[in-house]
Chain A
Amino acid sequence: MNSDLVLRASDLTKVYGTFTALDGLSISLERGRILGFIGPNGAGKTTTIKILVGLVKATRGEATICGAVCGKETARIKRFVGYMPDVFGSYDNMRVFEYLDFFGAAFGIPRRDRKRRIDECLDLTGAARMKDLFVESLSHGMKQRVALTRTLLHQPQMLILDEPANGLDPQARVEMRQVLLELARRGTSLIVTSHILPELARICDTVAIITGGKLRAFGTLEQIMQTVRHSRLVEVVLADRAGVAAAAAALARELGNEVPISQSEASAELRFNTDRDDEGLAELLGRLLEAGVRVAQFRELPMDLEDAFLSVTGQSGVKPTDSPASPHAVRDPKLGVVGAGA
């Protein structure tokens, strides 16, 4: 058993009446690592988070944070965890400093250390200039920074952030990313949920994908890619647009009619999924050239977190259309085009 594990959750299940919000989730996280927790709306992310912070009681299973059992040792969990919900929780008529002072006092930070701690956290999150502003007058992005500051005040060992980048402008997102990476560098473990997957991919060491209350994939980004990569996505760019139909026909002959091929006449591109190895792909390219297809580029497209997520959640990009007139017509979100196959 790894002693550096900060979070251990096994078989977490939450049932509301006949509805299973979370079904046997098991995850773990090491110190100083960032876990990206992703899933569509209603997947069970917030339920998991609320079980971890002790706001919701699990129907089955157990989770521990720094050795404290979630839902049972609530006082210890509150000390260990900094939780930033997806709503700000503001108080009217209070300045940012007073707001932070209240939470500092509530967490029992001694008065002599509190001011220094508030200033440190405000500096870290880039919110120092907001110190004297009234909380209700802050913009959404400003509130996110203040919320993160509030979460950091009691120096938690683990941060659980629900959609921290939500509503932030690109510049603020970059800054938020840097703050989170800095916190991880200092040894804080983080669980971050977000719908902005490219953003998450840049900071996460580990990813958990959840849909319908079930954990579909869990591991490092590379491990997830390996798991979900059942086939390789190959792109063929032609030298001229006129040859797209002929190239599609040639590909269909080689791959078989059941393999969907997406094509774009506008950009003279074709894409398809295949499980062939490098040798097989070289052979395929040779056949295309022999068939007179004028290939300008032939390459495998790298998979990113978004592809992995779509693949795991069963919303993979390459899907046949319903049109009976074109049985091989396919839609590719990246290409954004619909065309007819062979």
Chain B
Amino acid sequence: MIPILARELTATLRSWRAVALQIGFLVVLGALVILRWPSEARVDIGGVASRQVFRIFGYGLLIGLMLVSPAFPATSIVRERLQGTLALLLNSPIGPVSLVFGKLLGSVGFVLVLVILSFPAAAACFAMGGIGLNEQLGGLYLVLVLLAIEYAAIGLLVSSIVRSTDAALRMTYAVILILAVGAMVPHFILKEIAWASPHVNDFARAIGSLSAIPAVMQAVGDTGVLSGNGSVPEVQRFAVGAVLVTLLCIAITSVRLGSRPMDRARDAGRITDERSARARVIRRIMFLWFFDPQRRSGLIAPWQNPVMVKEQRCRPMGRANWMMRLIGTYFVLSLLLVLGATTLSQSQGVTGVLSVIAVMQVSLIVLLAPSLASGLISAERESKGWQLLQMTPLSPATIVTGKLLSAFVPLALVMVATLPAYIALLALDPAQLRIALSIQITLVIFAIMAVLLSAGVGSLFRQTAAATAVAYAVIAALCIGTLFIWLGRDAPFTSGFVERVLTPNPLATTLSIIGTPGFSEYRLAPGNWYVMAAITVACGVLMLLQVARLGRPR
């Protein structure tokens, strides 16, 4: 374990990226505290200002660690596999459990350095008074350390399953988003349903405790719709869940590494067209022929963009059979949304439900767009396919169009799948039509912008993993980062300043259109649409220029 731990730590800590990340982390945390530091020449005996600073500090730390913790472990094992060093490691006397622990501790070690770097900012909050050392500060750090270990273990597990670094990052962040946000949804919906069984409610609440958000909310002394109010403190609930998830991930990863991961037969390339008549008939009925994954593909039609078809065929879930499954999933999701919309509208009101749906839609776009678009160019460069594309007569415009279309199609499916929920809400309250249309305009522009922003930013990188991570960071900074300024809307920021900062934020714009408390006072649309359109055009031009540059002789 020690050699692995030493190698992982030195490899991570000596890179310039690690130093940049540490400095950036420190600067952001320091800025958050300074921005909220009371400037009045009065003593705050109640500790209100102190708790405000601590709240921003806690949420900032939570989001930072959620983004950083899984980044290194998610690519750790898959990178070893791609570089051919996994076979060397498995052939060494180091056992799979030691290997997993070595990698886990190596990854967590780096995150712990970041946590330690946050101590001065935490001390500043504590020095202001009004914050408990054990319950609040200790609780927050306990949650964050457990979260770092848990997410690193999840990243390692995903890394042992997938075949490419960017897929590892995508899947890890998807799992983390589901764990952090999705886990709370069943409890959030079920608690409003009168006929739901208490046992089911308890179970949903237990699932919700897997998210670190309620625990952090409790630790920073926040009360809101998501914070816990049960007899067992949220921090303890989360701690138990995190330890269980971590142990489970370590166990599965160790078993996977110990069960000869290289012992896999090559795909036999079975094709339905070559099978017996009986098998062909059965498969044609079973898969409705068109959706048979083993059907021989047709030739690319003259009206199709070859790059788009290629991208869809390359993508694990881009083929017709997978697209059908995705459509099915979205349809079920849509039905759940309709159910949620009709049940919750009685207690939360149509506005409340619209807010929840909008947040979910924005979350889906934030999750999907970078994963679909960030590697469009870098993956091509990484697989050495770019050189081959350069040797074809395809123009940069054809390449860019084909690649972007391949990202838009699945995203459009997600958008369409959520429409029935809006229809159900409009049936309940037809007066909301104007609001619903404005929301849809915002989300459509955001989806287009998110794809182009991810593709444009991603085109600047040689490695898909780096492109994916940076694209996620940029989109998250736009949708979540700007909300930190909103947290300081009373002081020190003026209303005008907060409005300007929130203007590019599609989530804030949607919530302001709906009239959600806290956002209703800002008029963000249509300014947000123009800003997003401008970013879209700029990123499209950037991508086109980058493709043209890469296509030119060196």
Stretch at the interface among A103-111, A235-243, A253-261: A103-111
Residues of chain B with a CB closer than 8 A to A114's CB: 299
Nearest chain B CB to A327's CB is how many angstroms away?
Answer: 47
Q: A111 and B302 in contact (CB under 8 A), knowing A56-B553, A78-B391, A78-B392?
A: yes
B390 at the interface (CB under 8 A from A): yes
Out of A103, A104, A110, A132, which one reaches B269, CB within 8 Å?
A132
Nearest chain A CB to B261's CB is how many angstroms away?
Answer: 16
The answer to whether B553 and A92 have CB atoms under 8 Å apart is no
A89 at the interface (CB under 8 A from B): yes
Please, which residue of chain B has its CB at the minimum distance from the CB of A54? B553
Residues of chain A with a CB closer than 8 A to B325's CB: none
Q: A102 and B383 in contact (CB under 8 A), knowing A57-B553, A132-B269?
A: no
Residues of chain A with a CB closer than 8 A to B391's CB: 53, 55, 78, 81, 83
Of the listed residues A55, A81, A88, the one surrounded by the most CB atoms of chain B closer than 10 A to its CB is A55
Nearest chain B CB to A110's CB is how many angstroms away?
Answer: 8
Measured between alpha carbons, how far is A210 from B424 in the docked complex, in Å?
A: 74
Measured between alpha carbons, how far is A56 from B387 in the docked complex, in Å?
A: 11
- How many residues of chain A are within 8 Å of chain B by beta carbon? 43
Out of A50, A90, A97, A103, which one reaches B392, CB within 8 Å?
A103
Out of B274, B307, B310, B388, which one reaches A89, CB within 8 Å?
B388
Residues of chain B with a CB closer than 8 A to A79's CB: 393
Residues of chain A with a CB closer than 8 A to B384's CB: 85, 87-90
B517 at the interface (CB under 8 A from A): no
Residues of chain B with a CB closer than 8 A to A90's CB: 383-385
The answer to whether A111 and B393 have CB atoms under 8 Å apart is no
A71 at the interface (CB under 8 A from B): yes
Nearest chain B CB to A129's CB is how many angstroms away?
Answer: 9
The answer to whether A98 and B269 have CB atoms under 8 Å apart is no
Taken residue by residue from 144 to 167, chain B's Cβ proximity to chain A (1 for < 8 Å, 0 otherwise) reads as 000000000000000000011000
Q: A91 and B554 in contact (CB under 8 A), knowing A111-B299, A134-B269?
A: no
Please, which residue of chain A has its CB at the minimum distance from the CB of B554? A56
A93 at the interface (CB under 8 A from B): yes
Measured between alpha carbons, how far is A57 from B300 in the docked complex, in Å?
A: 33
B549 at the interface (CB under 8 A from A): no
In the complex, chain B residues 43-100 whose Cβ is within 8 Å of any chain A Cβ: none
Residues of chain A with a CB closer than 8 A to B19's CB: none
B500 at the interface (CB under 8 A from A): no
Stretch at the interface among B313-321, B346-354, B453-461, B523-531: B313-321
Residues of chain B with a CB closer than 8 A to A81's CB: 391
Please, which residue of chain B has its CB at the minimum distance from the CB of A88? B384
Residues of chain A with a CB closer than 8 A to B269's CB: 95, 130, 132-134, 137
Taken residue by residue from 470 to 498, chain B's Cβ proximity to chain A (1 for < 8 Å, 0 otherwise) reads as 00000000000000000000000000000
Of the listed residues A78, A89, A134, the one surrounded by the most CB atoms of chain B closer than 10 A to its CB is A89
Measured between alpha carbons, how far is A324 from B319 in the docked complex, in Å?
A: 72
Measured between alpha carbons, how far is A328 from B387 in the docked complex, in Å?
A: 52
The answer to whether B553 and A71 have CB atoms under 8 Å apart is yes
Measured between alpha carbons, how far is A275 from B117 in the docked complex, in Å?
A: 77
Q: A85 and B387 in contact (CB under 8 A), knowing A105-B300, A134-B269?
A: yes
Taken residue by residue from 359 to 394, chain B's Cβ proximity to chain A (1 for < 8 Å, 0 otherwise) reads as 000000000000000000000000111111111111
B263 at the interface (CB under 8 A from A): no
Please, which residue of chain B has its CB at the minimum distance from the CB of A150? B388
A287 at the interface (CB under 8 A from B): no
Measured between alpha carbons, how far is A77 from B553 in the docked complex, in Å?
A: 13
Please, which residue of chain A has its CB at the minimum distance from the CB of B167? A92
The answer to whether A102 and B301 have CB atoms under 8 Å apart is no
Measured between alpha carbons, how far is A91 from B392 in the docked complex, in Å?
A: 16
Nearest chain B CB to A73's CB is how many angstroms away?
Answer: 12
B271 at the interface (CB under 8 A from A): yes
Please, which residue of chain B has its CB at the minimum distance from the CB of A142? B266
B7 at the interface (CB under 8 A from A): no
B206 at the interface (CB under 8 A from A): no
B296 at the interface (CB under 8 A from A): yes
The answer to whether A94 and B313 have CB atoms under 8 Å apart is yes
B267 at the interface (CB under 8 A from A): yes
Measured between alpha carbons, how far is A55 from B553 in the docked complex, in Å?
A: 4
B306 at the interface (CB under 8 A from A): yes
- How many residues of chain B are within 8 Å of chain A by beta carbon? 39
Q: A98 and B297 in contact (CB under 8 A), knowing A91-B314, A91-B383, A133-B269?
A: yes
Measured between alpha carbons, how far is A87 from B388 in the docked complex, in Å?
A: 10
Residues of chain A with a CB closer than 8 A to B115's CB: none
Residues of chain A with a CB closer than 8 A to B296's CB: 95, 97, 132
Of the listed residues B267, B385, B388, the one surrounded by the most CB atoms of chain A closer than 10 A to its CB is B388
A101 at the interface (CB under 8 A from B): yes
Residues of chain A with a CB closer than 8 A to B267's CB: 133-134, 137
Nearest chain A CB to B387's CB is how many angstroms away?
Answer: 6
Residues of chain B with a CB closer than 8 A to A105's CB: 299-300, 304, 306, 309
Measured between alpha carbons, how far is A157 from B266 in the docked complex, in Å?
A: 36
Residues of chain B with a CB closer than 8 A to A132's CB: 269-271, 274, 296
Q: A107 and B299 in contact (CB under 8 A), knowing A55-B387, A89-B384, A91-B385?
A: no
Residues of chain B with a CB closer than 8 A to A53's CB: 391
Residues of chain B with a CB closer than 8 A to A289's CB: none
Taken residue by residue from 249 to 269, chain B's Cβ proximity to chain A (1 for < 8 Å, 0 otherwise) reads as 000000000000000001111
Please, which residue of chain B has its CB at the minimum distance from the CB of A90? B383
A299 at the interface (CB under 8 A from B): no
The answer to whether B387 and A91 have CB atoms under 8 Å apart is no
Taken residue by residue from 114 to 138, chain A's Cβ proximity to chain B (1 for < 8 Å, 0 otherwise) reads as 1100000000000000101110010
Residues of chain A with a CB closer than 8 A to B313's CB: 91, 93-94, 98, 102
Measured between alpha carbons, how far is A288 from B378 in the docked complex, in Å?
A: 70
Please, which residue of chain A has its CB at the minimum distance from the CB of B552? A57
The answer to whether B164 and A102 have CB atoms under 8 Å apart is no
The answer to whether B299 and A57 have CB atoms under 8 Å apart is no
Residues of chain B with a CB closer than 8 A to A303's CB: none
A196 at the interface (CB under 8 A from B): no
Measured between alpha carbons, how far is A187 from B164 in the docked complex, in Å?
A: 42
Nearest chain A CB to B392's CB is how many angstroms away?
Answer: 4
Residues of chain B with a CB closer than 8 A to A103's CB: 388, 392
Out of A87, A92, A107, which one reaches B314, CB within 8 Å?
A92
The answer to whether A106 and B553 have CB atoms under 8 Å apart is no
Measured between alpha carbons, how far is A333 from B388 in the docked complex, in Å?
A: 40
Measured between alpha carbons, how far is A81 from B269 in the docked complex, in Å?
A: 31
A296 at the interface (CB under 8 A from B): no
Measured between alpha carbons, how far is A107 from B300 in the docked complex, in Å?
A: 12
Residues of chain A with a CB closer than 8 A to B314's CB: 91-94
The answer to whether B297 and A101 have CB atoms under 8 Å apart is yes
- State the B residues within 8 Å of A (CB): 163-164, 266-271, 274, 296-297, 299-302, 304, 306-307, 309-310, 313-316, 319, 383-394, 553-554
9 further contact pairs, Cβ within 8 A, besides A78-B393, A94-B314: A83-B391, A87-B387, A89-B384, A91-B313, A94-B310, A110-B302, A111-B302, A132-B296, A133-B266
**Contact sample, A vs B, 22 pairs, CB 8 Å cutoff:** A85-B387, A87-B387, A89-B383, A89-B387, A91-B314, A93-B315, A93-B316, A94-B313, A95-B296, A97-B296, A102-B313, A103-B388, A105-B304, A106-B392, A106-B394, A108-B393, A111-B300, A111-B301, A111-B302, A133-B269, A134-B267, A137-B269
- State the A residues within 8 Å of B (CB): 50, 53-57, 71, 74-75, 78-79, 81, 83, 85, 87-95, 97-98, 101-108, 110-111, 114-115, 130, 132-134, 137, 150
